[in-house]
Amino acid sequence: MPQMSPLSWWMLFIYFMLLMLMFATMNYYIFFYQPQKKDSIKLKINSMNWKW
């Protein structure tokens, strides 16, 4: 039935939008950032000193 085609496209659009939102939310909350320790930063700063 051609009359049902727009409804089918609408449901596909909603399905893919919800899928995209779900994956974007999962990527945002699963990512775990581990900050660098202060010791490694201090080591980098000390290694940049000039040796006159």
Check: pTM over 0.75? Answer yes or no.
no
The reported pLDDT for the residue numbered 47 is 57
The more confident residue out of 52 and 30 is 30
Question: 């775990």: which residue's tokens?
Answer: 32
* pLDDT band per the 50, 70, 90 thresholds, residue 8: confident
Residue 27 CA: distances (Å) to CA of 7, 22, 24, 37, 52: 30, 9, 5, 25, 49
In the predicted model, what is the mean pLDDT of residues 2-24? 88
